[in-house]
Amino acid sequence: MVKIVCPNCGAKSRFEKEEVVLYSRVECEGCGVLLEIIDEDPLEVEVVDEYDPSDDDDDDDDEDDDDR
C-alpha cells in the first residue's frame, strides 16, 4: 500500500502500489479531487485542473461589435 497526502485537503489516502505510477490519476478519499502522480521518487502529487467548458468566457463576441 502507498499513502498519499492530498495537497487540497490534507487527507491521507491509501492506494495499491500498482495504481500509483507516473502520470496516473487517483481520487482523494477525503475531498474527492482528482490527483495526478507527477513524481515517483519522492512521491509527489498535484491537483488536476479539469477543463470545464462552462467556465469559458464569451468575451470574443464583444470584439466583433467593434467592427460594425
How does DSSP classify residue 36? E
Provide the 3-class DSSP secondary structure of residue 29: coil
**Contacts for 30-33: CB closer than 8 Å, 24+ residues apart:** 30/6, 31/6, 33/6, 33/8, 33/9
pLDDT single digits (tens) 10-65: 999 999 999 999 999 999 999 999 999 999 999 999 999 876 666 566 555 555 55
Q: Can you give the residue ranges of every domain in the chain?
A: 2-65
Question: Distance between CA atoms of 65 and 53, rounded to whole angstroms?
Answer: 23
pLDDT confidence of residue 26: 95
Can you name the CATH fold of 2-65? Answer: Rubrerythrin, domain 2 (2.20.28)
pLDDT confidence of residue 49: 85
pLDDT confidence of residue 36: 97
